Amino acid sequence: MAVSISAVVLLGIVVFVLIRGGSVRLLPALACALFGFFLASTGAAPLITDAIGTVTGWISSI
């Protein structure tokens, strides 16, 4: 749970910086956020969560 909250905060900061810097416009960022929201309700969500957990496990073991 703590990893997912940290990932959300980190990705939120990245998106904010990209929008403020002009690299990403607001509507494409909103479309990506909506895509992620709907992706979370599909059958792919557990696979993605497990993959992120595996990667963070590898990183924490270094």
**What is the mean predicted confidence (pLDDT) over 36-55?**
86
Residue 1: pLDDT above 60?
A: no
Residue 4: per-residue pLDDT: 63
DSSP class of 40: T
Six token digits for residue 62: 């270094």
Read off the pLDDT of residues 12-44 as tens digits, 9 standing for 90 and up.
Answer: 888 888 889 888 888 888 888 888 888 888 888
N-to-C CA span, the chain: 21
CA nearest to 1, candidates 54, 58, 55, 53: 53
